[in-house]
Amino acid sequence: MIINILEAPILALLLSYIIKFYNVDIANEVGYTLLDNDNLPVYLFMSVIVAIFIGLTVSAEEIIKDRKILKREAFLNLSWSSYLMSKVSILVVISAIQALFFVLIGNTVLEIKGMYFEYWLVLFSTWVSASLLGLVISDSFKTVVTIYILIPFLVIPQIILSGIIVKYEKLNPSISSPSNIPIYGEIILARWAYEALAVFQYKENKYQKQFFKYDEAMSNSDYKRNYWLKTLNNKVDLCERYIKVPEKKKQVENAFKVIKNEITKEMFSVSGSPIKFAKYKQLDRNYPNEALLKDIKEYFETLRRYYIILYNKASNEKDQIISNQQKNEESREAFLNLKRSYFNESLSELVRNSGEIDRIIEYKGQLIQKVDPIYVYSDSKMIRSHFYAPSKQLFGYFISTYWVNILVIWISSIILYLILYYRVVKRGLDFLEKFSGNNESD
C-alpha cells in the first residue's frame, strides 16, 4: 500500500522537475514561465501514460492471487459481483488518491495554475479504466508471468497509436485517413485522455479563454480566404479553360466534383458562412456550363468579402480587449504576466498544427483543412471528429471535447467492467484452449 501511494507522487516529482525547462540565456530576466516551457505537451502525455501503467500494474494481480481461495470456497456460492465490487471500490479509492498526489505535485512544480481539478478528473478517470483493464487480464490468464509479459503489449499501443508520437495522418495511408481519426484510434485510452487535457489547457486557460472566439473567427476567415477560396477558384479556372476540350473531360469532372462538395459543405456545415449559393440546385449536374461557372465565381467573391469583414471585426475586437488591459505600464506588465503564467507556446503550436507545410489537401473529392484543428468543428453528429477538435457533437449538440472525452473514458470503464463480470475474455481463452486440445487429441 505504501509503495502504491508513493509511486505516483515520486513519478510526478521526477517527471515535472526534469522537464521544467527555461531559457538560461542572460537576456531572460523572468526565469521560468509556463509560456516558454517547450515540454508541457510531454508532461500531458506522460501523465496519461503513467496513469495507464500504474493502473494496470496495481490491479494486474488482484484476482489471480485469489484464484486458489476462490476455487477452495466455490462450493459456498459466494457472490461474484460482490467480490468484484470489493476489488473495484478499493482500486477506485487508490486511483483517486494516486491521481490527486500526481496532479498536486506535477502541476505545482510546473506552475500550471487553476486546473487542478480538471487534470485530476482526467487522470483519475484514466486510472480507473486502466485498473479495470488490469482486472480483466488478471482474471483471464493463468500465471503472473503471462500477465506481466502482456502489460507492455497493452501500454505500447497506447503510446504509438495515441496520435501524439506519430500523427494519425502520418501513419500508413492504408490504415489511416487525413480527415478523421481512424477506428483503431477510437479505442486508444491515451488518445481520449491526452486530447481532453491538451484541448482544455489551451482553450480554457485564463489568458486564452478571453481570446478564443476571436482567434477562432480569424483562423476560419484566414483559411477560407487564403487557402480554400484560392484552391476552389483554381478549380473553376481549370473548368473554364478545358470545358470544351474532350480530352480534358475527366479533369473537369473531378474539379467540378470538388467544387460541388465544398459549396455544399460551406452552405450546410456548422463552420460555414450564412451566405447561400442561389443556384445550388444546378450543382446536381455532373458537368458544368459557362454560365454556372460564372455564378460560382461571383459566389466565391461574395464569400471572400464576407470573410474579410469577419476577420477584421474579430481582429478589432481582440485588439480592443488587449488595449483595455494595457492602459499603463503597470497593467501592461500584469497582462504579460498573465500570458507567461497561463499560456504555452509549444502546446499552441501543437493544437494549431502550425508547423504543417500543407495547409490544405485534396482527398476523395474534398478539401481537408490541415491547419488550426483546434478551431475546426466536425459535422459528425456522434462524437467522431479530427484530433484536437474544440467541441464535439453528441446527439446534435456541441459539447466541450473535455467533457465528451471524459464521458467516453467512463463508458469504456463500464464496458470493461461488464467484460470482467461476464468473464468474456476468460471464457474465450478457455474455449480456444479446449478447442485446440480437442484438435490435438483427434
* Same-domain check for residues 111 and 197: yes
Q: Is residue 11 part of a domain?
A: yes
Q: Of 311, 342, 373, which residue is a domain's last?
A: 342
pLDDT digits (tens, 9 = 90+) for 4-46: 788 999 999 999 999 999 888 887 888 899 999 999 999 999 9
Q: What does the DSSP 8-state code read for residue 382?
A: B
Residue 249 shares a structural domain with residue 337? yes
CA 89 from chain centre, in angstroms, equals 29
Residues 46 and 113 in one domain: yes
Tell me the residue range of the domain where 199 lies.
Answer: 2-205+404-441
Whether 351 maps to a domain, the answer reads no
Each residue's pLDDT tens digit, 273-308: 999 999 988 888 889 999 999 999 999 999 999 999
Residue 372: predicted pLDDT: 96
Of the candidates 119, 110, 116, the one whose C-alpha atom is nearest the C-alpha of residue 13 is: 110
Residue 59 shares a structural domain with residue 184: yes
Q: Which residues contact 374 (CB under 8 A, 6 or more apart)?
A: 199, 202, 203, 351, 352, 388, 389, 390
Do 218 and 198 have their domain in common? no
Give the pLDDT band (50/70/90) at residue 435.
confident
The full DSSP string for 230-292 is HHHHHHHHHHHHHTT-GGGHHHHHHHHHHHHHHHHHHHHSTTS-SPPPTTGGGGGSSS--HHH
**380-425 tens-digit pLDDT:** 878 889 999 999 998 888 999 999 999 999 999 999 999 999 999 9
What is the pTM assigned to this prediction?
A: 0.93
* Residue 369 domain flag: no
Give a yes or no: residue 18 inside a domain: yes
Same domain as 230, residue 172: no
Specify the residue for cell string 453528441.
394
181 and 76 share one domain? yes
Q: Is the same domain home to 224 and 188?
A: no
| Cα distances (Å, whole numbers) of residue 215 to 83, 162, 282, 409, 427 | 52, 27, 35, 29, 53
Contact partners, residue 438, CB within 8 Å, separation at least 6: none
